[in-house]
């Protein structure tokens, strides 16, 4: 049984706690914390976990073998570094940290520790549909991938969601996904600003991102975060011989009143529920069997942050912005993301 401590009992923190207490076996939530003591105390009471009054005291708690960080992005670095200092595996929700400099500090701390402790919550790598798409690509039957068309559509976003978050908070998932899907780095980013959706007020929404891949392939990502009709994630790879795209995700097709329709998920929680389950299942199994994590690494978190920073600069300037990565420590070989 793996004993886990969870920092941040907000929306996704509570969902991961539910997953670890009600869905998955071989794991228990030993302790929880949040700067909002009331919410953390009520989650502790509900789950039987211990309440801790800070992330640091949770990390050094002897009953906590592994840490899950689900607090706001700007707080991730301090907790991930504290977990590395304590020698404990840490699953950190995306983004690893809000800046590439902060991510690099984590990479350097983990490399100095000498073995992998950090996994970043890029759950699309665990989604059955994305995995099936990658399997098709791996057969080579499509020929070389030339382009990928992606869409990342949210029905709506909270009031604090600013222009840059379409890149740093939303499209950062596509950034990680395409590095993993193509097994190569993104080398430059451009951002186009289409006509604004009036549902977003002053928000620059939608955006069209263009990623140049090391091979010369081009990936476009539409972010629309006020699309109203639901949460819709799309991806289609165009190869030399054919195309492959994410399949329909609806479990049911309704034919009614002269129309046929597929229900659309309401949000990320519904769309990626299986992916989060598999992500945690594999993380827990890996820690229990070998004590090691093998999912998206601190290096992947860093690389995503560098691309995301380039995207923010491209959004501000309208320029094409090259992506320049630091030298990768030996710990994160092999050459291509897996």
Question: For tokens 């401590």, what's the residue?
Answer: 5
Quick one: 19 or 173, whose CB is closer to ligand ISE?
173
Q: Which residue's CB atom is positioned nearest to ligand ISE?
A: 170
The whole-angstrom separation of Cα 322 and Cα 209 is 13
- Shortest separation between residue 9's beta carbon and ligand ISE, angstroms: 16
Structure tokens at 172: 């950062």
The DSSP code for 73 is G
Give the residue, chosen from 47, 71, 170, 297, that forms a contact with ligand ISE under the rule CB under 6 A: 170
Build a one-symbol-per-residue string for 170-209: x at contacts with ligand NAI by CB under 6 A, - elsewhere: ----------------------------------------
Which region among 169-177, 195-203, 238-246, 305-313 touches ligand ISE (by CB under 6 A)?
A: 169-177
Do the beta carbons of residue 314 and residue 191 sit within 8 Å?
A: yes
Out of 34, 61, 127, 169, which residue is the one contacting ligand ISE (CB under 6 A)?
A: 169
Alpha-carbon gap, residue 236 to 215, rounded angstroms: 18
Among 16, 19, 76, 173, binds ligand ISE (CB under 6 A): 173
Chain centroid, CA 87 distance in Å: 23
- Report the C-alpha gap between 171 and 207 in whole angstroms: 10
Range in contact with ligand NAI (rule: CB under 6 A) among 70-78, 136-144, 219-227, 284-292: 70-78
Distance (Å) of CA 298 to CA 51, 78, 91, 93, 166: 28, 14, 10, 11, 22
Determine the length of the chain. Answer: 338
DSSP, collapsed to helix, strand or coil, labels residue 207 as strand
154 near ligand ISE, judged by CB under 6 A: yes
Please answer whether residues 19 and 29 qualify as being in contact, where contact means their C-beta atoms are separated by less than 8 angstroms.
no
Give the Cα separation of 112 and 91 in Å (integer). Answer: 19
Q: Does 100 bind ligand ISE (CB under 6 A)?
A: no
Q: Which is nearer to ligand ISE, 52 or 271 (CB)?
A: 271
Pick the binder of ligand ISE from 91, 268, 299, 302 (CB under 6 A): 268
CA 154/CA 156 separation, integer angstroms: 5
Task: Work out what residue 170 binds among ligand NAI, ligand ISE, none; the CB cut-off runs from 5 to 8 Å by kind.
Answer: ligand ISE
Backbone Cα Rg of the chain:
20
Which range in 131-139, 165-173, 213-221, 275-283 contacts ligand ISE by CB under 6 A? 165-173
Does 130 bind ligand ISE (CB under 6 A)? Our answer is no
**Residue 166 in tokens:** 């379409």
Nearer residue to ligand ISE within complex by CB, 6 or 82: 6
71 binds ligand ISE (CB under 6 A): no
Interface residues toward ligand ISE, by CB under 6 A: 154, 169-170, 173, 268
């Amino acid at each position: 049984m793996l004993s886990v401590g969870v920092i941040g009992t907000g929306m996704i923190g509570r969902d991961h706690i539910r997953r670890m207490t009600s869905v998955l076996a071989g794991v228990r939530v030993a302790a929880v914390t949040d700067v909002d003591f009331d919410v953390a105390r009520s989650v502790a009471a509900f789950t039987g976990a211990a309440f801790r009054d800070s992330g640091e005291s949770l990390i050094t708690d002897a009953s906590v073998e592994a840490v899950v960080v689900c607090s706001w992005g700007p707080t991730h670095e301090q907790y991930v570094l504290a977990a590395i200092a304590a020698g404990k595996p840490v699953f950190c929700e995306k983004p690893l940290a809000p800046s590439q400099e902060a991510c690099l500090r984590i990479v350097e701390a983990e490399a100095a520790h000498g073995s992998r402790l950090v996994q970043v919550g890029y759950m699309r790598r665990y989604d059955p549909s994305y995995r099936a798409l990658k399997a098709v690509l791996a057969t080579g039957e499509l020929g070389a991938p030339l382009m990928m068309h992606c869409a990342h559509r949210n029905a709506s976003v909270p009031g604090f969601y600013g222009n840059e978050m379409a890149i740093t908070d939303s499209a950062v998932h596509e950034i990680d996904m395409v590095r993993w899907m193509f097994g190569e780095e993104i080398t430059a980013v451009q951002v186009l600003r289409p006509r604004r959706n009036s549902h977003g007020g002053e928000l620059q929404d939608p955006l069209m991102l263009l990623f140049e891949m090391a091979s010369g392939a081009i990936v476009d990502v539409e972010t629309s975060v006020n699309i109203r009709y639901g949460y819709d994630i799309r991806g289609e790879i165009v190869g030399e011989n054919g195309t492959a795209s994410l399949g329909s995700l609806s479990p049911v097709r309704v034919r009614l009143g002269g129309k046929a329709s597929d229900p659309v998920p309401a949000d990320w929680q519904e769309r990626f529920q299986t992916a989060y389950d598999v992500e945690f299942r594999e993380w827990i199994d890996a820690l229990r069997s070998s004590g090691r994590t093998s999912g998206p690494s601190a290096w992947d978190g860093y690389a995503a942050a560098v691309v995301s920073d380039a995207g923010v600069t491209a959004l501000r300037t309208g320029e094409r912005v090259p992506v320049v990565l630091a030298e990768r420590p030996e710990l994160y070989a092999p050459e291509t993301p897996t």
